[in-house]
Amino acid sequence: MRRFCLLLTSLLLAGLSLPLAAAPAPAQRVISLAPNLTELAFAAGMGDQLVGVSAYSDFPPQASKLEQVANWQGINVERIVTLKPDLVLAWRGGNPQRPLDQLRSLGIHVIYLDPQNAQDVAKALEQLAAYSPDPAKAQQAAHDFREQWQALKQKYHREKPVPAFIQFGTQPLFTASSATMQSEVLEVCGGKNIFADSRVPWPQVSREQVLSRQPQVIVISGEKSQKAIIEGYWHSLLTAQVIALEPDWFSRAGPRILLAAQQLCPQLAALP
């Protein structure tokens, strides 16, 4: 017993002598590899530290002036190395893994941000606070996002949600399951996703499947011209109101998903 106590004491003392893990330092040069990550970085107060972004990083406007180092064809590892970043923001679901492993092998710090729902957007902002020169801004952005999301949820809750079809494209015809942020936007506004029970996040469906579930509303991502196309697609087959949401707000898993909800909620609330 005495020998055990001595061993335990020595282990505890050894543990006390170990250096504590260093907290992340504010990043000086940052690269974002997805448009939604660029928006998250700006919201977290890291806009001035961004030195490279992905294609379609166009919000806020100053993001479009930054050098593009990634697109749908891949990641320009050589150019990223030349820019000497101390932090790369990556999207595990959309960025190829091999070039990210190359960057890490060169000593470049890579963190993954993969928001799957509204709560994850707030968590991503909090995660970025550790690397932001203005962590209070990132924390406040997360707090404000949560508060506004919860306010929408309370204001637009319906005992009988509106049956709705989230439509992407026409040929083929795609929709979203409950495992997507787009479905969450619908639900927070008092809608019921008619394909929420799909086993895959982005199922391809047929007209017959949609008609059999009789949606009262069709929610799309697009402008007024796109709305007219969808109305024509369902003409004489389905009497459902078509609601078009700002594409970037509705498609990107970032802070502006809140704007998509704020755009949709009043329109659903106006329905009987």
In whole angstroms, give the CA distance from residue 31 to residue 90.
Answer: 9
Q: Which amino acid is at 11?
A: L
How far from chain centre, in Å, is Cα 208? Answer: 31
Element (H, E) at 217: strand 217-221
Which letter does DSSP use for residue 168 in this model? B
Q: Which of 238, 246, 251 is nearest to 262 (CA)?
A: 246
Q: Which amino acid is at 141?
A: A
Give me the helix-helix angle, 257-269 and 181-188, nearest 10°: 40
Q: Which amino acid is at 253?
A: A
Phi, psi of 23 (to 5 degrees): -75, 150
The reply to whether 112 sits in an annotated binding site is no
Q: Measure Cα distances from 86 to 33, 55, 105 in Å.
A: 14, 20, 13
Q: Which amino acid is at 156?
A: Y
Please enumerate, by residue number, every residue annotated as part of a binding site for cyanocob(III)alamin: 56
Please enumerate, by residue number, every residue annotated as part of a binding site: 56
